[in-house]
Amino acid sequence: MKKDILKFPISVLLCNFVFLSFSISLIAQEYTLVWSDEFDEDGKPNPAYWSFENGFVRNQELQWYQDDNAYCKDGMLIIEGRREKKPNPLYVKGSNTDWRRSRPFIEYTSSSLKTAGKKEFLYGRFEIRARIPLESGSWPAIWTLGTTMEWPSCGEIDIMEYYRINNEPHLLANVAWGTDERYKAEWRTQAVPFRHFLEKNSNWGKEFHVWRMDWEENSIKLYLDDELLNEVSLNKTVNGAWSNYTHPFKQPHYLLLNLALGANGGEPDVLAFPMKYEIDYVRVYQKKEQVVRPGRLWLDDRGEHINAHGGGVLYHEGSYYWFGEHKSENSNAALVGINCYSSNDLVNWKYEGVALPVSDDPKSEITKGCVMERPKVIYNEKTGKFVMWFHLELKGQGYKAARSALAVSDNVTGPYTFVRSERINKGFYPFDMPEDIRKLQFDPEKYSTWWTPSWYKAVENGLFLKRDLEEGQMARDMTLFVDDDGKAYHIYASEENLTLHIAELTEDYTGHTGKYIRVAPGGHNEAPTIFKRKGTYWMITSGCTGWEPNAARLFSAPSIWGPWKQHSNPCRGEKSEITFGGQGTFVQQVYGKKDAYVFMADMWRPKFPIDGRYMWLPVKFEKDIPYLEWMDEWDLDFL
């Protein structure tokens, strides 16, 4: 049975056509369908969406979960509870400490489906149309769990549960999270006696109904046929000390659909089997963003927090492409690779996939577990190639390698092919370094103590540059810049992060010509970002304080080759001394608007890297000098 999917959620038909039209228009502006399963193909549920729980799982329920009990037929997902007896493969004679092992036989079977690792969402409108079994013993549910931490610290949202309380059937809508004690939950529960619904509709049990969750950053609202059952403010739903006061409802969750038997469902009615729980569809909608909200969770078209850290943007043929590091939950190492997203408005982003994956080959320079940082992509008009450079650290070597890595592609979104990594500009001095300075020689032992006046002078005169002359120069935090004449430049933190280099790339952008300069020797700058406005080159950098934010620095020059002049901190207002908690990664020009630029920065979360936030702010100008001010939200009309 093929079903039409509205691009907006309408759960109940309205009699007044004018009001219906207005409602459709209003909701259409708010929500867009991002995923659904209509169960239109007969057979097993789509394995790209669903996996199964197996065995005796929780709550000392009677059923053994298995995938055989779930199937699609006539446009429905059917979860079937069956009464069937077979040996329990977990049974241990005499076991009295584990209920899963103490039962010699399985007497009931059912299914529990979940989208974990396949479809996970943060915020949105979730709609599930279903017909539930009401007989004694049934415990159907529609619920979600967070993707991190153990229960209940992961967070649980029960969009629907049906079971018996004091032997009276109830429909429940619940939210739970962690406390100071392991495995002990704090609940916000609303249990509505089933008779409440029967009094409205005596045929309720024979019909399909729509359960809905509206999950926003500050609240969760749970509905049944548009009747609000439970509303929970998320201001206080914070885990206790056991999970370090984390927030379980500001992370992605996955969906579960299951039919439990016994336990809270009561003693099963043996005449009710096979018992059928029928789901017509599952749909997830999310709001299309109209504004940029610095520091807030930023969701892609799948409803997942954008994972493109240390990134840069390429504008190509009318679209923006954002490339950045994929961060995992517990590691800043590269376990996936470099992601790509696309947008036509810099606000709403579509996930395009992994542009450059890590390698499974342990001998590869980009093997899983290496460090791939600050990827930037530029397009070469002459070769038709998309060229990516990034900072690479070899696996197991910390930040010792400080290499520049190259990958190329024929397509903007990839896949990109890794070409090589290297220390760059081997054997070349900066073209503007005077001959007498080039001839200076240093005894490394004499400068083993850092930060002394003589050490600073030696750094200014090329102490580390000369050390690395034969091997090639270090390059860590970096960006790329293509000038008006098509020439491209690689800007990076070098010489133990003490000095910035600006290096010219070859005509095809895949190598270095050997022409480069040093900027602010010994100034300890990293995180360079660069843009050009009215013939002046501007560069915003940061100091070197690890993952902790610091005050931004501003430089300008009349030519890419300098001379570069340092200005005062470009940030203004509260927390300007820590760049509002962020660190720059790129400045993107907004095409189609005059004199409009966006400063892109990351707000790092080193203890939970995947949750790092993005701080994008419009660049403002006063007397032609750029500055930054915090804005809670802004849109492109502001620029």
Catalytic residue IDs: 156, 161
How many Cα atoms are found within 13 Å in the side-chain-facing hemisphere of 251? 23
Angle 88-94-97 from CA coordinates, rounded to 5°: 85
Q: Is 625 within 8 Å of 563 (Cβ atoms)?
A: no
Q: Is the peptide bond preceding residue 140 cis, with omega within 30 degrees of 0?
A: no
Instruction: Spell out the residues 6+ positions from residue 199 whose beta carbon is closer than 8 angstroms to its own.
Output: none
Angle 231-236-241 from CA coordinates, rounded to 5°: 135
Beta-bridge mates of residue 526: 542
Q: Tell me the Ramachandran region of residue 45: left when phi exceeds 0, alpha when psi lies from -120 to 50, beta otherwise.
A: beta
Tokens 């992994």 -> residue: 354
Q: Determine the 3-state secondary structure of 463 from DSSP.
A: helix
DSSP annotation of 416 reads: P
Q: Determine the 3-state secondary structure of 338 from DSSP.
A: strand
Q: Would you state the structure tokens that stand for residue 332, as one six-digit string?
A: 């800043």
Residues in the chain: 639
Give the count of beta carbons closer than 10 Å to the beta carbon of residue 217.
12
Instruction: Spell out the residues 6+ positions from residue 562 whose beta carbon is closer than 8 angstroms to its own.
Output: 432, 517, 519
Instruction: Spell out the residues 6+ positions from residue 172 whose beta carbon is closer than 8 angstroms to its own.
Output: 158, 160, 161, 162, 163, 189, 190, 191, 192
Nearest to 400 by CA among 368, 371, 430, 420: 371
Q: Would you state the structure tokens that stand for residue 546, as one six-digit string?
A: 């690890």
